[in-house]
Structure 1
């Protein structure tokens, strides 16, 4: 084996430090990858794999990408779950002796990406840091592209709900190992769990002083909060150690208590389809899709934050509602502001690019264009009658000094690339102006020198010429040399057969200026641009504050526009526990079927006689839609939005829970019924009297006896132990007897119009319980074969006439009520099971704790026993 080449030795020394990254190794105008990195990259990026002599017996696998177009390739690798270490030449190759010095200048991972081609301008790209304690956890998270930094300290049991709410793209953590559940949460939600983050996760607290003044930290109170401090320190050190710089756009800490916001667990977020649909995982068809009429990326991200974090402080909610109310009432104001907002770029992310020194001249002009709209927006608002909006707009700095500075310095249509020149106005720099004049007027200057030298020497045929070997020269014929005396500053350069060529110091200076003008202009403009960027950098805090106000105005405009277009009402808020919605509508579904075709429904939940509504009626009749719309209307009110209803008086709730639909979690060996019971268990353990609970068809995943018993018991438990506002939809219409047995329980059902064998779902929720399930009617609507419908009807008639509907199997309301009041009936049921061993075995099964395999084996054995029995 040959000795490694110096370059490959350097490569291996650097790669050894970054084993968990794809190393982009700079060679000239390319980033090259070698060995395993090259094999991976060639496959993922679909580029050619070649080889290079490295000192081994075989060539090193190699592939590369042009450095000027590397962002697209890096983004592809990040999307495919890889980290990339950027290794640059850190000295001028022409001035170095031996191998050029190289080092890694940046590590790019999902949470530190800055490339517009991979970032979603409507969503934040959070990097989250977690520090684990015995029973608690502290988390800090930041979007380095916007500088949005938050931190909190929570109970360990709430950690995963907080992760789902924030939904970071990458998680780093302090410990050497982590929980299996954290890995599962990350896998299920497409979050990159950086298991090598401890390498950069330092506990060096000096990093805080690089980002914040001590007075600011004391004011925020972070220094006193040890648990939070260390997750924040770890986060900032990770950014500093991977990005190799302090980012000035990270200059504010949003310290919050998670209890200040309504808590929404993963099931509720998923079931209510707040930001993406349940099936397709797309934004279209979700609540945010209906609400988002924003004009800027900043506004869109803030609106998503509002939906993810509903407020529970009445005064804060009311403040937002009042702002929206002012805009709903003023159509012209909305339109005028919107027209200005549409011309504002993503100022937050432009600040991020300035902070990380990767903004281009075109983007600086976009910042200038955005700033130019601020005075107009303030003027529009100041001329309105909106008191609350005026107070908000007063916080906007017009940034006129920054606008004027950029306008004076940067061309209106500059080059996108920094080193291509055509960036700086000639009026901004005398040197730039002179060099441009030289570049454009070089021929004219040479002619001027030629004329002057003719007058000086008296030689009319003297000429100034140029060639690539000698550059500019003065040529005089031999005959003229004999007649005239030449100036002393003429230096002989070349002898020809009939002439001599001379140079002067002046001519050479002009030559150098002319020939190097273009290159010098580019170098000078580049340096001037860095100075301009640095000056703007120092004002990032001011610009960010303006961006936040613009984002808020954008959100308010969006919410008011949606309210106006869709006939929403301003909700009234209360803390009395009463929830009244008059003619409420589902905000998403009404858009799909048109508002005029949607059947509105009224809801009355209170703390006296109706805290639990048991809703019965056939499937497909609209129970789930109705319950979801109540939850969504409640949530909309808590984010400060108008709601789809004629009137709404909404009680402040601490949490909304939903258990809707059926799903398996086969990766964890959990059946549909196990998932259902797990979700219900979570609700019953966590809900308070101030919560809103939506339960849909609980118990249907098991046998009729088990399901009905569980549903009955769950309603009792909520009534007796929690007392929260609850909508409980069920196909067990036998539960309607609970209205008589439990205070606060009321029966409602979906109205159905029967016409012979046909039914019409009226989609209207009315008082009173249903006494039919209409299952066969629904099957008919689903267009099952007539033969099946006919046979099912025959079987149903026989079952209704047989003993299956009589004691001890009688599931009529009267019999069930008696079963819960008369011990004799219970004893009769027990004796019945004792006489039927197979039934006794089935009833005694512990279904909830069975694995899917155990359940299948048990079912197989029971089937065998049943087949061996004489069937009647």
Structure 2
């Protein structure tokens, strides 16, 4: 850059508004990208993993604010195009950051070129999809919170630009915003829009819950949440014209305000390619099983940063055997939307069973067909934005041309469930095949693929003028080829061996000899003109070839111009097939997901089985030989299966005790994962399974401090538990692990007991409760539907052996010191721990004895007072009363209760 341009950049940079730490600014420099200041340090550390790439400006771009100057402000890092794309992908899809890209216009003035966020990837679609598919959907959620009759009402709207979907819904919520949390999990939103001008205390609570869920929050002006022009806007965006009668505006005014904010934020109306391409629906929370954020994390539904490259550590990764990008996006959504309708679950099961049983069908579909299908929605978007190429036309044609073979494979199925296969896949594919017949005919007539140049061209035979130009070009190429023979004779060289005819874009046609034969050329240099000298030889030409070259270039330019006009016509016609293209994309994606379910079931260490599904309210969950699907596939793991039998008429509340690391947490989580898989339509890791449809899964597992938000371990788990108690129903499954930590043992046990009693008495939900409060097992004495189970372990010679079997009955110790021994604690520490534990047990035993004495004594006193009333001592004369009381006193002393005797002695002493 010149000094003037440097100066322009410095002034522009210094005037940029302050940004959040979760935003990175890139500056496009034509051949590379640059980042500055704290962004440079961040990029160096997180993506280059070295500070060696960091350079420092000679002239500080921060010199305009010398008071706050630090050397870090002078740092900068340059990124190649390839590095920029990989960094961009990680920032938007993994780190959940915002990105801004700045560049220069033709006057060298700097300006914002494009920006994006986790929920708004539109500006970066091409960058993200250039070298790899986008397997996640960018979903923006917008919320409008109001209070009506002391009830919290939420109007929500969201957009998925990867599939052209808009949706709205309205619902009332409790103090813990449980319905909102369920909505967030179901739609898998990446970003949430809220208006900033609001002092509502409920709004602050809502923000904390959204932040706890890991959702990026973007504040917008309140004016953007106005549905004043929503009908007009939707008339331009929806495939069918909208009207006030057809829109849910009358009933869902608050949600339509949120939808207006989504449209404004994504700038959908500023891009003509969005017009008439979206669908609007009303989202129903009650169509799917509800999951809170804690349950999603506890069941490991999606990959976490700790899982690294091991996909099978999460349920989504385990089930992801998809071959297409659209299939992976759909899978990510379906895992968060387990079905409640038994008929729909069984329909999926029928299809998965069909693919499980027919190995040839499954493998043929995956390896020979789906593996070669591109992301059709991305291609459709390029057509809509008028950015498509002839290669996109050809790729679409190849997919459509594959449909007859794909249908033939589907028709070869001999399963009794083939009617479901025909209804869900074969029939729609047949209709789409008919829709694309004219398109295939057009492409076959007009396009040809040059394998040598990897380019797609218009066939010369398609247009008379094109054919004439092409014929002239071929004639010139023939004349140039004859020149090879002539020049070879003149130089005494062998054509195509020591003398070669070649072509390059900047030189046209030319001859080449090796450096060894260059002396032959030098001898007749008056006949030939040297063009270039390189390591592989000397490039030269003669007058005839030069003239022919010029003619060829003129014809080629004319040919390209004519072909470009024809290509645009072909692309325009192909763009009219966007709607069937998107429909085909959806069918392919669903087929890919169900094949993936089947593949995961078959290739598990022990093949999964089809569960029997019972309607909601049936009150039975039976799992025989159940295993955790993610753990059993880990290397060097021999998983121990366990059974579970839950019934609302017998046992619906299970307390699991046992040693640390004995498998309690794994057991209760695997039950949740299996139930969820069953309602997805998957097969499950059991030898036999009967599962009643569950309306929601709530989890209180593994809480920890959240110091940044001022939330302690106890507060975190109590917030989650409070939400569970508010929103769970008798058809819910509750998974509670180690409730009551982070406070005193007595307080923790008191909370655990009270919560357990509330679940048994008031909720009547299915509940699995893992605990180290062994006293909690006594609750089964008061409530027959509560049962005690324990994970088994053996202690021999003071050594602990974990068996990982879940058996009936309770366990009276936690083996914590044995686990410390497994962790290689120093022997002195272990001895001290054993000594102190023994002392505490003795103290606790004494306290328990005293406590028992007091309870018995209080009962004796109550009985004594009852007898006084029954004998009507107050109605006796003095002598009779004294005689009767002395008799009762002697009987009371004969009980020899320490508590009673101490009271009597205390009274007598006075």
TM-score range, shorter chain: 0.7 to 0.9
Equivalent position SS for 1:685:
helix
> What is the aligned counterpart of 1:236 among 253, 258, 263?
263
Equivalent position SS for 1:604:
strand
> What is the aligned counterpart of 2:394 among 341, 346, 365?
365
CA offset at residue 665 of structure 1?
Answer: 0.9
Matched, 1:162 2:194: no
CA offset at residue 762 of structure 1?
Answer: 1.9
Matched, 1:590 2:645: no
Which 10-residue stretch deviates more, 707-716 or 122-131?
122-131
Matched, 1:323 2:351: yes
CA offset at residue 249 of structure 1?
Answer: 8.4
Counterparts of 1:434-833 in structure 2, within 5 Å, are 434-442=468-476, 516-566=554-604, 567-574=607-614, 575=616, 576-592=618-634, 597-800=638-841, 802-808=842-848
Structure 1's unaligned 5+ residue stretches are 94-98, 448-509, 832-872
Q: Verify the 8 A CA contact 1:362 1:414 in the aligned structure 2.
A: no
1:59-114, Cα deviation, whole Å (9 max, x unpaired): xx99999999997797688679455477897xxx9xxxxx7999988654441331
Match of 2:486 in 1: none
The 3 A distance-change label for structure 1 pair 776 and 809 is farther
- Tell me the TM-score normalised to structure 1 length: 0.73
Matched, 1:115 2:126: yes
Could you tell me how far apart the structure 2 residues matched to 1:24 and 1:704 are?
53
The 3 A distance-change label for structure 1 pair 633 and 130 is same
Counterparts of 1:79-118 in structure 2, within 5 Å, are 81-84=97-100, 108-110=116-118, 111-112=120-121, 113-117=124-128
Matched, 1:212 2:238: yes
CA offset at residue 757 of structure 1?
Answer: 2.5
CA offset at residue 758 of structure 1?
Answer: 2.9
> What is the aligned counterpart of 2:316 among 285, 288, 294?
288
Match of 1:468 in 2: none
Could you tell me how far apart the structure 1 residues matched to 2:859 and 2:413 are?
67
> What is the aligned counterpart of 2:428 among 387, 395, 405?
395
The 3 A distance-change label for structure 1 pair 830 and 608 is farther
Q: Verify the 8 A CA contact 1:661 1:696 in the aligned structure 2.
A: yes
Could you tell me how far apart the structure 2 residues matched to 1:671 and 1:526 are?
66
Could you tell me how far apart the structure 1 residues matched to 2:400 and 2:745 are?
66
Equivalent position SS for 1:588:
coil
Match of 1:195 in 2: 219
> What is the aligned counterpart of 1:350 among 376, 379, 382?
379
CA offset at residue 629 of structure 1?
Answer: 0.8
1:119-153, Cα deviation, whole Å (9 max, x unpaired): 86322122333344443333333332443444333
> What is the aligned counterpart of 1:412 among 430, 433, 449?
449
The 3 A distance-change label for structure 1 pair 190 and 250 is farther
CA offset at residue 747 of structure 1?
Answer: 1.1
Match of 2:467 in 1: 433
CA offset at residue 686 of structure 1?
Answer: 1.4
CA offset at residue 635 of structure 1?
Answer: 0.6
Could you tell me how far apart the structure 1 residues matched to 2:26 and 2:564 are?
25
Equivalent position SS for 1:246:
helix
Could you tell me how far apart the structure 2 residues matched to 1:150 and 1:744 are?
42
Q: Verify the 8 A CA contact 1:426 1:433 in the aligned structure 2.
A: yes
Could you tell me how far apart the structure 1 residues matched to 2:728 and 2:669 are?
18
CA offset at residue 316 of structure 1?
Answer: 1.6
Equivalent position SS for 2:847:
coil
Matched, 1:255 2:282: yes
Could you tell me how far apart the structure 2 residues matched to 1:300 and 1:67 are?
26
The 3 A distance-change label for structure 1 pair 639 and 392 is same
The 3 A distance-change label for structure 1 pair 515 and 299 is closer
Q: Verify the 8 A CA contact 1:780 1:789 in the aligned structure 2.
A: yes
CA offset at residue 798 of structure 1?
Answer: 4.3
C-alpha RMSD of the superposition = 4.7
CA offset at residue 41 of structure 1?
Answer: 8.4
Match of 2:410 in 1: 381
Could you tell me how far apart the structure 2 residues matched to 1:159 and 1:547 are?
30
> What is the aligned counterpart of 1:311 among 316, 339, 345?
339
